[in-house]
Amino acid sequence: GAVVSQHPSRVICKSGTSVKIECRSLDFQATTMFWYRQFPKQSLMLMATSNEGSKATYEQGVEKDKFLINHASLTLSTLTVTSAHPEDSSFYICSATPGNVGETQYFGPGTRLLVL
């Protein structure tokens, strides 16, 4: 149980384009999902907390207009990187929790984004 999928697993795009990443909880309902970013040899960095039916909560320093989050259902959250630039190249990972915000998180396999 507690499986989270993420799509696509890998994407290469040109600078200036937008990229959408989907995160799905496959066997449980997730009121809350989280989006992280991880640069090579660095730790996970929480970008935003995605709440079903309401606006996402962004961490300090994360631009909400650049990283659009939509949590339209209890099993799906999307992250759109708008007007991507090479510095946005990173490993984007989502997680979901079947419980409250502070409970166990289950991670998707991540999306590796490369912006040329």
Partner 1 sequence: RKEVEQDPGPFNVPEGATVAFNCTYSNSASQSFFWYRQDCRKEPKLLMSVYSSGNEDGRFTAQLNRASQYISLLIRDSKLSDSATYLCVVNPGNNRKLIWGLGTSLAVNP
Residue 34 in the binding site for partner 1 (CB under 8 A): yes
Residue 49 in the binding site for partner 1 (CB under 8 A): yes
Q: Residue 13 burial (CB < 10 Å; 0-12/13-18/19+)?
A: middle
Residue 87 in the binding site for partner 1 (CB under 8 A): no
Judged by CB under 8 A, the residue of 15, 29, 104, 114 near partner 1 is 104
Taking the complex as a whole, how short is the minimal distance between the CB of residue 34 and partner 1, in angstroms? 7
**Residue with tokens 């708008």, as numbered in its chain:** 82
Judged by CB under 8 A, the residue of 3, 12, 72, 101 near partner 1 is 101
Q: Which is nearer to partner 1, 13 or 44 (CB)?
A: 44
Strand residues in the chain grouped as ranges (E)? 4-7, 10-13, 19-25, 32-38, 45-51, 57-58, 67-73, 76-81, 90-97, 106-107, 111-115
Enumerate binding residues for partner 1 (CB under 8 A).
Answer: 34, 43-44, 46, 49, 91, 93, 95, 100-110, 112
